[in-house]
Amino acid sequence: MTSGIKPQQNWHQHAGTLSINSLRELGKVLVIAPHQDDESLGCGGTIALLRQAGLPVHVAFVSDGSLSHPNSKKYPTEKRIALREQEALAALQILGINNNQVTFMHLPDGSVPFNGDPQFTGAVNQMQQLLLDIKPQTILLPWRRDPHTDHRATWQIVDEAINETGISARQLEYLIWLWERAADNDLPQPGEMQIWQVNIEQVIELKKQAIAAHLSQTTRLIDDDPEGFMLSPEVLAHFDKPYEIFVESNKLA
């Protein structure tokens, strides 16, 4: 894994535009987040725009977030999980989503199952039920080759659930660790994906507030685990932009 994508850092410069009118055509939206903060980082501005346009949005968190500070005594596992859920709900309130439009799947952080793992079928069954309950017209999900394994596994779970349910939903993939850790073959390849850009200038402050609501990930709130995770200023800078990027498969359904 390289430290960045500098050789092709402008790969998205010819992105098409998803206007406010285009967003309104997305209909009922389901956002799939591998961890509590991915929703705010990757598509927080778009979520805010969708809600301001009156569109229904449901957010599902795949992992339990427990691995962020595994050695903390002040916040043992169950307390850490509860904290991250509280932070996620607070962030989503800022973006315009009520608690009853949020699902926590509670898969193990750092071990979200891949296709072929023993737990994969159970995770797919959970996702299938969610798809059947929500009946989304559009799904926002992590990029299929995101360098983080939980993100790749999440994409596989969603993809398999879509195939098994046969639902027809537009799929827009958002980017998290691609900006920071990508190797060249992690990037969208020429002709593989349609690249879209959403202007979030009018809601950028809401996005920043939502990210900041994830206190355990952006501050030293949990201060007794020197190996604990925190989003660095360098990582956060990738998401401090007046636009969000999505990619959509060019493969015809």
In a domain, 87, yes or no: yes
C-alpha closest to that of 91 among 142, 49, 38: 38
Q: What is the pTM of this model?
A: 0.95
CB contact set of 99 (below 8 Å; sequence gap of 6+): 89, 92, 93
C-alpha closest to that of 32 among 129, 110, 102: 102
Q: What is the pLDDT along the chain (253 residues), one digit of tens a residue?
A: 333 434 356 778 788 999 999 999 999 999 999 999 999 999 999 999 999 999 999 999 999 999 999 999 999 999 999 999 999 999 999 999 999 999 999 999 999 999 999 999 999 999 999 999 999 999 999 999 999 999 999 999 999 999 999 999 999 999 999 988 888 899 999 889 999 999 999 999 999 999 999 999 999 999 999 999 999 999 999 999 999 999 999 874 3
CATH number for the domain including 117? Answer: 3.40.50.10320
How many independent structural domains does the chain possess?
1
Backbone phi and psi for residue 58, each to the nearest 5 degrees, phi listed first? -115, 140
In a domain, 10, yes or no: no
Q: Which domain holds residue 164?
A: 16-249
Task: Determine the Cα–Cα distance for residues 237 and 95; give it in Å rounded to an integer.
Answer: 20
In a domain, 1, yes or no: no
